[in-house]
Amino acid sequence: MDSVEKIKIDFVGAGKVVQQFLEKKNFNIDIRIYDQPGKKKLDKLARSIKIFKTSGRILLLCASTDEESILKTSHSHARLSIAKENLAITNDLIQKGIFKDQIIFVLTNPSEIIAEFIYRKTGNKRVYALGLNTDQKRYSEIIKQSNFLHLNSEFYISGNHYDFPYPMFHPPDSTHDEKTTIQLLYLALQKKIQSEFKGYRPPIVSGVTALNDLIQSLATKRPLYLSGYCDEFGCFTGGRMDFTSLNFTPLLGNTCYSKKKILSIAKKHCESYFSATSNQEHKE
């Protein structure tokens, strides 16, 4: 008999990422899947969201609009359109009483926006956004390229997933201008992310990787880069989760430029999305 206690997780949303994750999962986890009935291939496994009850289990939010359809029709404002649709889905779930005081990990895009929205609506500070760990892996691959060989391959990451993940090198690179290096790395990151898209299809593999990283960290107590609420500055920002104690530590940089930049990004990030999606609604 397996003496290791199973990780108990409730998945809310059963789209393509969850389907692919379940096909390859090899962890000792007790999964319950909730979704709107009649919409997904996992209908036989998924329970109706109508019968969801808070049970103290870890909650993993994966519910999402059809991102591929939006990417086909809304090229210049696709991420804002996805944010608007997913905020509406999240708000509906909040009205159903889905998010209370349990630990919540958000995969739904844009993950930090959704996480901060849940916090603002429910007051639950135990909400964390996934994605930064995937960005850290992307940066690691980029740094191995010839243009960035001068950089230390060991680094922390903060900032915001996708929009501006910020690598922090230890010790800081004193031979190159930090601002220029970060900008070049960020441009390379954007190119790498775009290369992961298959036409208008979002990169499913990055979502599956984020889920695998989370489950592995829960199982092995290995730290994970993600985003959480920072009391000191009253906003969501990147940091590291210690899964032994389930404590989140914001990482705010080790140079004056990085601290200023990271806090500036964190404070403006969610407000810019909330404002833009609100303006988009008014125009429609």
For the chain, the domains span 7-130, 132-199+222-270
The model's pTM is 0.90
CATH topology of domain 7-130: Rossmann fold (3.40.50)
Joined together, the tokens standing for residue 47 give 């329970």
Q: Is the pLDDT of residue 75 over 70?
A: no
Q: What is the average pLDDT across 1-14?
A: 77
Say if residues 220 and 201 touch (Cβ distance below 8 Å).
no
Determine the pLDDT at residue 252.
82
Say if residues 29 and 6 touch (Cβ distance below 8 Å).
yes
Say if residues 59 and 106 touch (Cβ distance below 8 Å).
no
Determine the pLDDT at residue 231.
84
pLDDT band, very low/low/confident/very high, at 89 (cuts 50, 70, 90): very high
C-beta atoms surrounding 18 within 10 Å: 28
The crossing angle, in degrees rounded to 10, of helices 256-283 and 178-196 is 40
Q: How many residues does the chain have?
A: 284
pLDDT band, very low/low/confident/very high, at 245 (cuts 50, 70, 90): very high
Q: Is the pLDDT of residue 280 over 60?
A: no
* Secondary structure element (H or E) that encloses residue 239, with its range: strand 235-242
The larger pLDDT score, comparing residue 169 to residue 200, is at 169
CATH classification of 132-199+222-270, choosing from 2.60.40.150, 3.90.110.10, 3.40.50.2300, 2.40.30.210? 3.90.110.10
Beta-strand relationship, 224-230 and 164-169: unpaired
Among the residue ranges 32-36, 141-145, 150-154, 218-222, the one predicted with the least confidence is 150-154
Determine the pLDDT at residue 1.
40
Owner of token pair 């929009």: 163
Dihedral sign, Cα of residue 104, residue 109, residue 112, residue 113: negative
